Chain A
């Protein structure tokens, strides 16, 4: 969910502030989709499918809320999701 948020230009700017260049949107979207699929795989491995699907949906809901609240209060914490060097806007 954090990668999905960072793939949105407004939130990328919010997290990396004024020094940020354009977000690597495609990479972030691929990472986010892969993470969501991997979380589904983990849930289905751990539980009966009927329970796993509910756990997966609700965990994504919780993650969405957690990411939004982090963006609202401490956006800089989400920099941990993109440890690579961010190219300054006018570099």
Chain B
């Protein structure tokens, strides 16, 4: 079928890259935005624009919050389908376990817990029956944030990059996994098919024709940022491997998993089951102080990132206090466990094994809990280089074929170009429109989050319709004007979002940068302005290229008609 190995690799790179490139583009773009998801949250929820807070006092602040915590109605409905008989009323349910989670970038605190239920499962293998409840609170007052508000950064852009919000049977996670695997394949096949990896390492020729420039940029961003692409595609797969892609511990090895849990509980001294004997809760603040003292003795930063209490109200209850991962790549860790009723230390996590340390590094480098702003921005750079690599791949595909397709009437280039416009500029339009919509929607509108999501998908759909309608030019071997028009739309929307933020909150850049510095909001505003400037520059360059291509097209048609007349 193929004359040689290189041709086979070229075929694989071209077609797999094309089909799953559209998914990868979403992963890279929304992954880049996720680096600053908490900052986007602050921008979209003006009530939460205050400084990041440490874990508050459990005894004084969090204990009353957990007393008020209620089962989530959606989770109750989902659990009701998994059990026999009716669930007890939410008011009568008691917490079996609870957690509080924060990072060094969070002003607000995420709290939640599992409510015990007496019902039997429909599926006997279903061994984890609880109703979950959760809330986001202001840790300074304990006040709960409204449930219908959407944290656009951490609850929409972030899941978008790994699940595409296709939650039916985790379809999105599987598609993204396939795309990540394809990315690894594309990187390897790209190196095989690229004849001059080292010779053209620093090569970009913007003044050559579009096909050449696009290929240069594709090679540059693929090769120079290859460590980033490899690591992120690979670690993305590693993170979900155990839970979704190879869940052997809950399928093939379920009995072994169960036995391991019991054996581990015996080894660590952390009870696996409730004792059935009621017991009070000692001061958790005292346990936190002891945990911090022990971390300080090991010369470690002492911020609490994650706090859990298991088997609440029982003699077997224990408190786990995890250190926040601010000073290294690994996530929360170095946990210290306390007997909940006496406050005595049960156990300290020992140093990680080699395998554990590698796993913590790989997952941590992807999930980035560290306090290192330069590295965060470098991650954004890496993510955007990934976007450029994929986008220029699309452009090269179209440029290579569009003349031939125009001559033969093939619509392949036209379809790919329309999809590329939708995926590249259309996706940015959708994201920026969502931010602009966030500032335009009335604050007292019920379910504002749902409306913001509608705005996102509608804007993206409109961009797709526009790209398709305007793609006729590609059939004539010209540039699709939708690229330019959508760049102008991005510029306009980004400027509008910054202006609307100023109008609706009073937080203009002079205030957030100079007067009362608040970098999460200033950073988003400045990024939007940069986005607008780049989009406007790109639109002007595209207009210039379109004029050039139009003149060439006219000259070619003129020549063709003269030849035809001379021949006639």
> A residues engaging B (CB < 8 A)?
1, 4-5, 8, 10-11, 47-48, 50-51, 54-55, 57-59, 61-62, 64-65, 67-69, 71-73
Assess A68 versus B204: contact at CB under 8 Å? Given A50-B330, A58-B381. yes
> B residues engaging A (CB < 8 A)?
199, 201-206, 220-221, 224-225, 227-228, 327-330, 361, 364-365, 370, 372, 374-375, 378-379, 381-382, 385
Nearest CB to that of A2 among chain B residues? B202
| Contact between B365 and A61, CB atoms less than 8 A apart | no
Assess A8 versus B202: contact at CB under 8 Å? Given A50-B361, A58-B378, A61-B228. yes
Assess A58 versus B202: contact at CB under 8 Å? Given A48-B328, A50-B330, A51-B328. no
Interchain CA distance A71-B510 in the complex, whole Å:
36
Known A48-B327, A48-B329, A71-B202; 18 more pairs at CB < 8 Å? A48-B328, A50-B329, A50-B330, A50-B361, A50-B364, A54-B375, A55-B372, A59-B378, A61-B227, A61-B382, A64-B202, A65-B220, A65-B221, A65-B224, A68-B204, A68-B220, A71-B204, A72-B206
| Contact between A68 and B374, CB atoms less than 8 A apart | no
Nearest 9 CB-CB pairings of A with B: A58-B378, A50-B329, A64-B224, A72-B204, A5-B202, A48-B328, A68-B202, A50-B328, A61-B225
Assess A62 versus B378: contact at CB under 8 Å? Given A50-B329, A51-B372, A68-B204. yes
Assess A51 versus B329: contact at CB under 8 Å? Given A58-B382, A61-B227. yes
With both chains docked as a complex, state the minimum distance between the C-beta of B187 and any C-beta of chain A, in angstroms.
14
Please indicate the chain B residues that have their CB under 8 angstroms from the CB of A61 in the complex: 224-225, 227-228, 378, 381-382, 385
| Contact between B228 and A57, CB atoms less than 8 A apart | yes
Between-chain CB contacts (< 8 Å), 15 pairs: A1-B202, A10-B199, A10-B203, A50-B361, A51-B328, A51-B370, A51-B375, A58-B378, A59-B378, A61-B225, A61-B227, A62-B381, A65-B220, A65-B225, A71-B204
Nearest CB to that of A48 among chain B residues? B328
Please indicate the chain A residues that have their CB under 8 angstroms from the CB of B328 in the complex: 48, 50-51
With both chains docked as a complex, state the minimum distance between the C-beta of B385 and any C-beta of chain A, in angstroms.
7
Please indicate the chain A residues that have their CB under 8 angstroms from the CB of B379 in the complex: 58
Interchain CA distance A61-B203 in the complex, whole Å:
14
Among candidates A4, A58, A72, residue contacting B375 with C-beta atoms closer than 8 Å: A58
Please indicate the chain B residues that have their CB under 8 angstroms from the CB of A8 in the complex: 199, 201-202
A11, A51, A59, most chain B CB atoms within 10 A: A51
Nearest CB to that of B198 among chain A residues? A8
Among candidates A54, A59, A62, A69, residue contacting B204 with C-beta atoms closer than 8 Å: A69
With both chains docked as a complex, state the minimum distance between the C-beta of A84 and any C-beta of chain B, in angstroms.
21
Please indicate the chain A residues that have their CB under 8 angstroms from the CB of B374 in the complex: 55
Please indicate the chain A residues that have their CB under 8 angstroms from the CB of B385 in the complex: 61, 65
With both chains docked as a complex, state the minimum distance between the C-beta of A12 and any C-beta of chain B, in angstroms.
11
Interchain CA distance A10-B328 in the complex, whole Å:
41
Interchain CA distance A8-B361 in the complex, whole Å:
36
With both chains docked as a complex, state the minimum distance between the C-beta of B36 and any C-beta of chain A, in angstroms.
16
Please indicate the chain B residues that have their CB under 8 angstroms from the CB of A72 in the complex: 204-206
With both chains docked as a complex, state the minimum distance between the C-beta of B93 and any C-beta of chain A, in angstroms.
42
Nearest CB to that of A58 among chain B residues? B378
Nearest CB to that of B204 among chain A residues? A72
Interchain CA distance A71-B382 in the complex, whole Å:
20
Interchain CA distance A1-B223 in the complex, whole Å:
14
Please indicate the chain B residues that have their CB under 8 angstroms from the CB of A55 in the complex: 372, 374-375, 378
Please indicate the chain A residues that have their CB under 8 angstroms from the CB of B330 in the complex: 50
